[in-house]
A = this chain, B = another copy of it.
Amino acid sequence: MYSIDKLKEYLENKDVKPSYPRLKVLEYLLRYQNHPTADQIYNALVNEIPTLSKTTVYNTLHRFVESKVATPVCVDGGETHYDATVNEHGHFKCQICKKIFDFDIDLEKACEKGLTGFEILNRSINYKGFCPNCVE
């Protein structure tokens, strides 16, 4: 799916040194597209990288965010989820199965009033409700 060389190149282009933990975290994010938490990533990788530290996962994710390799997804007060899809899109969190779904949204036509003079750096759109599998 994603060759190590491609991942290395991708990180280098974003000025992130492609260490082994970083490559593995990126590979995980891209492969599963499941908006995992730091803890989920750690648990998924620690078998393959027994020396992995949870702090390294946090460090890596922070690095990814500041280099725009990943986006944090804070859909409610709980843990932060991470997403390697960095183009703008919405997130829908199902209240039953807790899964986070992507959806496309075009905010150009959604007229915002009251933001003249503000410099917008990023926008996050989070919906909550029931996913098709969980609507009864």
- A residues with CB within 8 A of B: 72, 74-77, 80, 90, 92, 95, 101-115, 117-132, 135
Beyond A74-B74, A92-B115, A109-B109, 4 extra complex contacts between A and B, CB < 8 Å: A105-B112, A109-B110, A110-B110, A120-B128
Instruction: Establish whether residues B121 and A112, one from each chain, have CB atoms under 8 Å apart when the complex forms.
Output: no
Chain B residue with the shortest CB-CB distance to A105: B112
- CB A112 to nearest CB in B, in angstroms, measures 5
Known: A110-B109, A127-B122. A117 touches B102 (CB 8 A): no
CA distance A108 to B55 in the complex (A): 42
CB distance from A14 to the nearest CB of B (A): 20
* Residues on B with beta carbons closer than 8 Å to the beta carbon of A122: 127-129
Q: Please tell me if the beta carbons of A107 and B104 are within 8 angstroms of each other in the complex.
A: no
Cβ of A118 and Cβ of B131 under 8 Å apart?
A: yes
